[in-house]
């Protein structure tokens, strides 16, 4: 869906955001959104790593039983 957004649409969205939030709050908003996305990615990576570890442990214990 995001791949269909062109340059013109992106400029319109940024212009509307500038009008709504103003030039002083827009950088703070961008920083906040960036931190939120970064935290989400970190949490997701931690969960994937935990699942990989559990799968590896189960596979190792199954191999020991056989």
Which DSSP category does 10 fall into? H
pTM of the prediction?
0.61
Show me where the domains of the chain are located. Answer: 2-65
Which DSSP category does 5 fall into? -
* pLDDT level of residue 66 (50, 70, 90 thresholds): low
pLDDT tens figures, 5-59: 788 998 999 899 889 988 899 889 889 999 999 999 999 999 999 999 999 888 8
d(CA 16, CA 26): 11
**CA 7 → CA 18, 29, 56, distances in Å?**
16, 21, 45
Residue 2 has pLDDT above 70, yes or no: no
Cα 28 to chain centroid, rounded: 18
């Amino acid at each position: 869906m995001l791949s269909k957004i062109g340059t013109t649409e992106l400029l319109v969205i940024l212009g509307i955001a500038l009008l709504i939030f103003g030039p002083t709050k827009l950088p703070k908003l961008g920083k906040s959104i960036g931190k939120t996305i970064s935290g989400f990615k970190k949490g997701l990576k931690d969960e994937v790593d935990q699942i990989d570890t559990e799968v590896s442990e189960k596979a190792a214990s199954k191999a020991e039983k056989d």
